[in-house]
Amino acid sequence: MSLEAQYDPENIFAKIIRDEIPSVKIHETDAILAFMDVFPQSEGHCLVIHKQAMVTNLFDVDDNDLAALTVAVKKVARAVRDGLAPDGIRVAQFNGAPAGQTVYHLHFHIIPVYEERNLGAHASGGPADTEQLEKTATKIRAAL
């Protein structure tokens, strides 16, 4: 999908926003939703999206919506740091399929990095166990 793609209101994140698909939520406001990635690259991998900015990528988002999203990314990343004590944290955002974007709703990845563990590949492998995601989310929520 190119950088000029039209927003599809049936994408998986739009369905999560509408509660048509379950998710393990970490943080939610009227505008922001943070939830666990079901295909995590590491323990604690989560996603942060804007619920009202229906855009595919960074180039389409309103500056005020991006500012709110960025503040939320920082808040959730801090909770991941404090709740899980990783050795580092990677924040990633992809634009267009050639860059690795697989869901065409603007989103940020927060990926904890642990020195003695290898990261999984982006958008690969099987889905994580929901109970384990919930246990990890509980630790992150407690640090918010």
| 92 vs 47: CA distance, rounded Å | 10
Average pLDDT of every residue of the chain? 95
Over residues 103-111, the mean pLDDT reads 98
Q: Where are the chain's structural domains?
A: 12-142
Choice among 22-31, 36-45, 123-132 with the minimum mean pLDDT: 123-132
Q: Please give the DSSP secondary-structure letter assigned to residue 45.
A: -
Other CB atoms within a 10 A radius of the CB of residue 97 amount to: 13
Q: Which residues belong to the active site?
A: 107
Which tens digits make up the pLDDT trace of 50-72? 999 999 999 999 999 999 999 99
Chosen CATH of 12-142 out of 3.30.428.10, 3.40.50.300, 3.40.50.720, 1.10.10.60: 3.30.428.10
Quick check: 122 pLDDT over 90?
Answer: no
| More confident call, 19 vs 125 | 19
pLDDT bin (cut points 50, 70, 90) of residue 123 is confident
- The reported pLDDT for the residue numbered 5 is 85
Which single residue is written with the structure tokens 């709740």? 83
Instruction: Single out the residue of 111, 107, 131, 139 nearest to residue 34, CA to CA.
Output: 107
Over residues 76-87, the mean pLDDT reads 98
Nearby residues of 116 by Cβ (< 8 Å), 6 or more positions away: none
Which tens digits make up the pLDDT trace of 10-37? 999 999 999 999 999 999 999 999 999 9
Over residues 120-136, the mean pLDDT reads 89
pLDDT bin (cut points 50, 70, 90) of residue 118 is confident
CA 50 from chain center: how many Å?
Answer: 10
